[in-house]
Amino acid sequence: MKAFETFEHTADVGLIARGRTLRELFANAARGLVDLMVDPEGLREEIQMQVTVSAGDREALLVGWLNELLYLLDTRRFLARRSRITDLSDTTLTGELVGDTVDPGRHRVRRMIKAATYHGLSLREANGLWEARIILDL
């Protein structure tokens, strides 16, 4: 199973994330988001934090999760090298993030992502594998 892959979308970029469980899918979506922006191998594991996101349903929770990661980048210059979903329901997610402060001297930014969007959003399970498709606004 490929954890994530990307696809081009008019003036934006798409992300397909997969997981054997919803928790794994959400963690892989975070990995894919970070990978689109910087080389994650260059991120140190110096900062730990816990985040909680709530939304009306699973799809909105995925959008909220990715937008929370972008908010942390905008406000704290933090990018997660890895994430672990510690609690997940249809409407609430709690995750542990470990990562680094983005430093232009150490990190080459591949592209900046403004937001995760609802356009073309899908989240489904088939044959024991979860898959999400989401468009990211550049």
Q: Find how far residue 94's CA is from the centre of its chain.
A: 13
The CATH number linked to 124 is 3.55.10.10
∠ CA 90-62-104, rounded to 5°? 145
Domain extent for 74 = 4-137
pLDDT in tens, 19-46: 999 999 999 999 999 999 998 888 999 9
Quote helix, strand, coil % in the chain, to nearest 5: 30, 45, 30
Count of domains observed in the chain: 1
Nearest alpha-carbon partner for 63 in 91, 39, 37, 85 = 91
pLDDT of 112? 92
Task: State the chain's mean pLDDT as an integer.
Answer: 95
pLDDT of 14? 96
Can you say whether residue 40 is alpha, beta or left, with left for phi > 0 and alpha for psi between -120 and 50 degrees? alpha
Res. 60: pLDDT tops 90: yes
Q: Name the 3-class secondary structure at 107.
A: coil
Q: Take residue 74 and report the two structure tokens written for it.
A: 């905008």
